[in-house]
């Protein structure tokens, strides 16, 4: 019996050993296949994403409308609960009503923004077209007067005009006319093709958005069912402890994204309103248009205010340069108020990231996904940061070490003895001063060596020049 048990255990050990090796080999082969066929796999993924684009749009729309839908649903449910128990049929009717109101609210907000922006854009473009000739004439007259009063400038301008005329004649005869004779028709065909492709992409986007709205309605209506199915699948696939961790981090992700995005929208709305009130008081031009631009771009952390400031300041600069300066000062003050008062009051510590990691996440995800990456980069990186931090803390707890960061400041070593807690030995002030002095001495020695090298090379160059002269 013992021999049989030993034989069975050795067979099991051998099976586990070779199966683990086989899994490692298969994983290595799979990794090699993915790396060697990365472009083909990427194109296949892109094709599937383009097919499922309406579903992606629907998920995004549903996620954005979900807070509004929940607010409406809780409001109506609290009203009905005061009158008595609410049946399941009434609850489903309330869900449908809440989805409709949330969708109408979203459409209303978009229509109002378009109503505020488009007329202002038309007025701005019209005034720009009307005032541009006068401004160009004024500029021309100013330059002409300056040139007439300065002989040197007049001569240089005349030379420049002659050279420019010769250059333009050469370009027209050697490049433009041959291009018109040979490549013009093909270029027109390319432009027409690009215009048609652009129009088709716009129509395709509108179609996908329409289908996405329908998908969003279904997602919001069956939200509880989808959530229950997802939890059922997670607990079915993973062990209970792992499943609890997965659900915990999914909830954390939802809290991070919803808290940050909703808070940013509220913060940006307040910033836009304050900007409009201040611009109206200061009688700056295009108050409505510029306030909407400032409010919308403020959703992007760090870089958003500057993205809105540059085109807005240029618009005002065309009308009045002094007012453009006042506007830049106004936005600088407004951003200080937003960064030190409004932002912390509305967003709080929703992400838990320092200023460096906020900037890092915007640069990283903005470079990968553009404007969308700039908006979602901060909460996404905050989730990644939290997962890594929890993992490191878990590993430290297993080693019975401290999870407090301050314990590791100026740490020299950790001393562990059996039956005792770990002792954190830090550098003393004298040791830190000695380290600084040693670094300074090291840099001074390097500077001296560099000076000696420079003197050596100078002497060598001087001696070689003297030898040449001889």
Kindly report, residue by residue over 314-338, the tens digit of the pLDDT.
888 877 889 989 999 999 999 888 8
What is the per-residue pLDDT for 4? 47
The model's pLDDT over 46-62, given as tens digits with 9 standing for 90+, comes to 777 788 888 989 998 99
How confident is residue 281, by pLDDT bands cut at 50, 70 and 90? very high
CB 55 within 8 A of CB 213: no
> What is the spatial distance between Cα 317 and Cα 322, in angstroms, rounded to a whole number?
8
At 190 the three-state DSSP class reads helix
> What is the spatial distance between Cα 320 and Cα 411, in angstroms, rounded to a whole number?
59
What is the per-residue pLDDT for 469? 61
Tokens representing 175? 């490049």
CB 376 within 8 A of CB 365: yes
Q: What is the pTM of this model?
A: 0.70
Tokens representing 118? 């488009």
> What is the spatial distance between Cα 328 and Cα 315, in angstroms, rounded to a whole number?
12
Q: Where along the chain do its domains lie?
A: 19-48, 52-163+196-221, 434-469
| DSSP letter, residue 341 | I
Asked whether the predicted pLDDT for residue 99 surpasses 80, the reply is yes
Whole-angstrom Cα Rg for the chain: 34
Beta-carbon neighbour count of residue 90 at 10 Å? 13
| CA atoms within a 13 Å half-sphere pointing along the CA-CB vector of 130 | 7
Alpha-carbon dihedral of residues 124, 314, 298, 330, nearest 10 degrees? -100
**Mean pLDDT, rounded, of the chain:** 81
DSSP H or E stretch at residue 470: none
The crossing angle, in degrees rounded to 10, of helices 321-337 and 240-281 is 140
> What is the spatial distance between Cα 314 and Cα 322, in angstroms, rounded to a whole number?
12
pLDDT above 90 covers what percent of the chain? 12
At 152 the three-state DSSP class reads helix
The model's pLDDT over 367-387, given as tens digits with 9 standing for 90+, comes to 887 888 888 888 888 889 999
What is the per-residue pLDDT for 5? 47
Q: 285 — phi, psi (to 5°)? A: -75, 160
């Amino acid at each position: 019996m013992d021999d049989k048990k030993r034989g069975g255990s050795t067979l099991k050990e051998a099976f586990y050993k070779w199966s683990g090796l086989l899994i490692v080999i298969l994983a290595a082969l799979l990794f090699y296949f993915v790396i060697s066929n990365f472009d083909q796999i990427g194109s296949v993924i892109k094709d599937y994403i383009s097919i499922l684009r309406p579903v992606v749009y629907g998920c995004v729309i549903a996620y954005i409308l979900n807070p509004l839908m929940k607010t409406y649903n809780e409001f109506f449910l609290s009203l009905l609960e005061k009158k008595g128990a609410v049946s399941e049929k009434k609850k489903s009717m309330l869900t449908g009503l809440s989805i409709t109101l949330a969708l109408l609210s979203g459409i209303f907000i978009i229509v109002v923004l378009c109503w505020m922006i488009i007329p202002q854009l038309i007025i701005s473009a019209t005034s720009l077209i009307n005032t541009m000739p006068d401004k160009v004439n004024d500029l021309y007259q100013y330059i002409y007067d300056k040139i007439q009063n300065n002989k040197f400038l007049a001569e240089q301008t005349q030379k420049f005009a002659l050279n420019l005329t010769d250059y333009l004649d050469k370009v027209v005869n050697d490049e433009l006319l041959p291009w018109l004779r040979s490549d013009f028709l093909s270029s027109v065909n390319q432009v027409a093709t690009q215009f048609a492709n652009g129009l088709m992409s716009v129509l395709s986007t509108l179609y996908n958005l329409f289908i996405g709205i329908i998908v969003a309605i279904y997602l919001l209506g069956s939200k509880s069912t989808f959530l229950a199915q997802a939890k059922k699948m997670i607990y079915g696939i993973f062990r209970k402890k792992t499943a609890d961790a997965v659900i915990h981090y999914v909830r954390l992700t939802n809290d991070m994204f919803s808290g940050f995005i909703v808070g940013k929208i509220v913060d940006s709305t307040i910033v836009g309103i304050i900007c409009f009130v201040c611009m109206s008081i200061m009688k700056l031009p295009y108050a409505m248009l510029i306030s909407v631009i400032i409010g919308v771009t403020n959703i992007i952390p760090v870089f958003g205010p500057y993205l809105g400031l540059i085109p807005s300041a240029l618009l005002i600069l065309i009308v009045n340069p002094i007012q453009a300066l006042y506007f830049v000062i106004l936005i600088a003050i407004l951003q200080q108020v937003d960064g030190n008062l409004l932002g912390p009051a509305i967003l709080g510590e929703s992400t838990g990231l320092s200023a460096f990691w906020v900037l890092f996440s915007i640069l990283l995800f903005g470079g990968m996904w553009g404007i969308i990456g700039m908006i979602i980069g901060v909460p996404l990186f905050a989730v990644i940061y939290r997962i890594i931090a929890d993992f490191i803390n878990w590993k430290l707890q297993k080693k019975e070490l401290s999870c407090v960061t301050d314990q590791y400041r100026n740490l020299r070593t950790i001393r562990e003895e059996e039956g005792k807690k770990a002792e954190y030995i830090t550098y003393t002030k004298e040791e830190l001063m000695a380290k600084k002095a040693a670094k300074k001495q090291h840099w001074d020695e390097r500077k001296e060596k560099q000076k000696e090298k420079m003197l050596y090379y100078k002497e060598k160059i001087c001696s070689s020049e003297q030898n040449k002269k001889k």
